[in-house]
Amino acid sequence: MTRRHGGTSARWHAGTSARWIVVAGALAVVPTCRLASQDTSAIDRGVRIGIVYRPGVRPGMVMLPRKGIDSLRAIVARDLDYSDRFEIITLPGGDSIRLAASAPTGTTATPRKGAGSGRTQSASGSRTGGGGAQAIGSLNYPLYQALGADFALDITVAGDTTVATLHDVGAAGVRRAIRAVLPAATDRDFRQAAHRLADQIVQAAVGEPGIGATRVLFVSDGKVWQIDQDGADQKLVSSTNRQAMSPAWASDARHFAYMEFQAGKGWLYLQDMVTGKRTPMSTTGTALDFTPAFSPDGATMAFSRATEEGTDLYTINIKNNCCLRRLTVGRFSDNLSPTFSPDGQRIAFVSTRPGLPQIYVMAADGTDQQLFAPFDYGVTGSSNAPEWSPDGQSVAFHRDVAGTLQVFVLDVRTRTVRQLTSVGRNEDPSWAPDSRHLAFVSDRSGYRQLWIIDLDTGRIRPLLQVSGARLPAWSPRLSEAPSTTP
């Protein structure tokens, strides 16, 4: 996959302004899909919501219609939408738009295919006109500007090469042209390749990659499942009929760990997502081991072990599958649910030492244990399930508020907490790699299922429409699968 910066905008000029007249006709167009913070309906319960959404501050993004690549466009468009970084501008009267915009393309389907090399040469400046000119030149920038668009995305396919051209509407030029060789739409790697393309587009627009090429592991009916972040391709990854819990990703996005009930104990397994091979951790099987967590360098696994003495935190060396080390000595309190800081230096965890479970932090070697998320003794409810954000700035967790659970975020620097949710019961938050989205479990729709919240806008969407899903674990960005590397 290569990236190509858009060069001189001069070559995009050969516009047929005629077709934009048609578009203009359809332009009683208003930017739609303005997002609203959706988790505020329980403010009347006296709960303060930490999210204040100011509409209109995000750049507008419009996607140009193109024929013949509907599935690719749909995947990319949804990823851009779910990135929550743009005001997605839809073009009403899509048919007339499509007709106008794609008329040349539609009638020259075959030449367009053959024009792949031509456009490449065109990009290098040696050839103009023909397929190249109609494919990615000539946007009516003022028109899109009037629509509120800051970016216009044009995706074209020529031969085996897909080109995503991101136009900077304000600058009236091409911001970047991203070329990719995507697998056939029927290939099982197609969707992930499309997601990676979308992530590059987000990167080109706002400087940070999107979260299209990510997955969420979760538990349902005692089994571990995976699902793409856009809700597609749900698959079973459990390989036994034993009851499983607490899936956790390694930072390589290829391995994950989970706990399985077996012979009265809790066993920890490491599983390779590609080969499906699973390996029991060498020190497991003697006690109830649960809540595995990988250190960011992948060398260490921290976990909870329940024995007659209570529950305490331990680490093992993953590479050599050895060297059990105890980090906490609770005696009359339980210590569980470890999560590493992204620099690997600290571990946040749950401890019942204040009487109720609350969020604590310590150095990764077990020293310097201290309270992390402040609480009012005797007032604040139990706090559980911490997860450190990939950017290191926050720890998400859930806390009992008036008899139900709500998702909170701790600001690591200021050590202040804010409540994110208030509608229904909300628990077990897990960070997306962009550190602004959280997957969590909520019963707001009447049954427990997975939802995704964007912390910046407060927008909430369901990830699943089935009941019973829980314990989500959001993957890091998935590296390109070997089979899709050209």
Partner 1 sequence: MKSVSLLLVLGLSIAAVASSCGGNPAPQNTTPAIDTAAENQRVRDSIAAAQAEAERQAAAERDRLEQQRIADSLAALSRSGDEVRSMLGAMIHFDYDRSNIRSDDMGVLDQKVAIMQANPDLRIRVGGHCDERGSDEYNLALGNRRAQAAKQYLVSHGVDANRIETQSWGEERPLVDGHDESAWSQNRRSEFEVIGGGENLRRP
Interface ranges with partner 1 (CB under 8 A): 222, 243, 245-246, 261, 264-266, 288, 290-291, 304, 306-308, 310-311, 334, 336-337, 350, 352, 356-357, 382, 384-385, 398, 403, 405, 427-428, 470-471
Number of H helices, E strands in the chain: 7, 30
CB of 331 to partner 1, least distance (A): 12
CB of 371 to partner 1, least distance (A): 17
CB of 377 to partner 1, least distance (A): 16
CB of 75 to partner 1, least distance (A): 32
In terms of Cα–Cα distance, which of 327, 238, 242, 318 is closest to 281?
A: 318
Contact, 302 vs 314, CB < 8 A? Answer: yes
398 versus 436: smaller Cβ distance to partner 1: 398
15 versus 424: smaller Cβ distance to partner 1: 424
AA identity, residue 198:
A
Backbone φ, ψ for residue 168 (5° rounding): -90, 105
CB of 465 to partner 1, least distance (A): 20
According to DSSP, the residues that pair with 63 across neighbouring strands are: 153
251 versus 384: smaller Cβ distance to partner 1: 384
CB of 259 to partner 1, least distance (A): 8
CB of 306 to partner 1, least distance (A): 4
255 versus 399: smaller Cβ distance to partner 1: 399
CB of 329 to partner 1, least distance (A): 15
31 versus 330: smaller Cβ distance to partner 1: 330
Within 10 angstroms of residue 84's Cβ, the number of other Cβ atoms is: 23
* DSSP letters for 423-435: SS-EEEEEE-TTS
Interior angle at CA 451, CA 446 and CA 454, nearest 5: 135
Contact, 436 vs 452, CB < 8 A? Answer: no
CB of 451 to partner 1, least distance (A): 16
Cα→Cα distances 53→49, 122, 186, 257, Å: 11, 43, 39, 36
403 versus 486: smaller Cβ distance to partner 1: 403
Contact, 338 vs 248, CB < 8 A? Answer: no
* DSSP letters for 23-82: HHHT------------S-TTGGGTPPPS----TT-SPEEEE---SS-HHHHHHHHHHHHH
12 versus 349: smaller Cβ distance to partner 1: 349
Helix/strand/coil (H, E, C) string of 164-225? EEEEECCCCEEEEEEEECCCCCCCCCHHHHHHHHHHHHHHHHHCCCCCCCCEEEEEECCEEE
139 versus 350: smaller Cβ distance to partner 1: 350
According to DSSP, the residues that pair with 6 across neighbouring strands are: none
CB of 469 to partner 1, least distance (A): 12
261 versus 375: smaller Cβ distance to partner 1: 261
Q: In sequence order, what are the residues at sequence separation of 6 or more whose Cβ sits closer than 8 angstroms to the Cβ of residue 217?
A: 224, 225, 226, 237, 247, 248, 249, 256, 258, 472, 473, 475
CB of 134 to partner 1, least distance (A): 56
Contact, 377 vs 342, CB < 8 A? Answer: no
CB of 428 to partner 1, least distance (A): 7
270, burial (CB in 10 Å: exposed 0-12, middle 13-18, buried 19+): buried
Contact, 405 vs 424, CB < 8 A? Answer: no
200 versus 426: smaller Cβ distance to partner 1: 426
42 versus 245: smaller Cβ distance to partner 1: 245
CB of 426 to partner 1, least distance (A): 12
Token pair 């976990």 is found at 303
Interior angle at CA 285, CA 279 and CA 287, nearest 5: 140
Q: Which residues of 334-360 are buried (b: 16+ CB within 10 A; e: fewer)?
A: bbbbbbbbbebebbbbbbbbeebbbbb
57 versus 379: smaller Cβ distance to partner 1: 379
428 versus 456: smaller Cβ distance to partner 1: 428
281, burial (CB in 10 Å: exposed 0-12, middle 13-18, buried 19+): buried
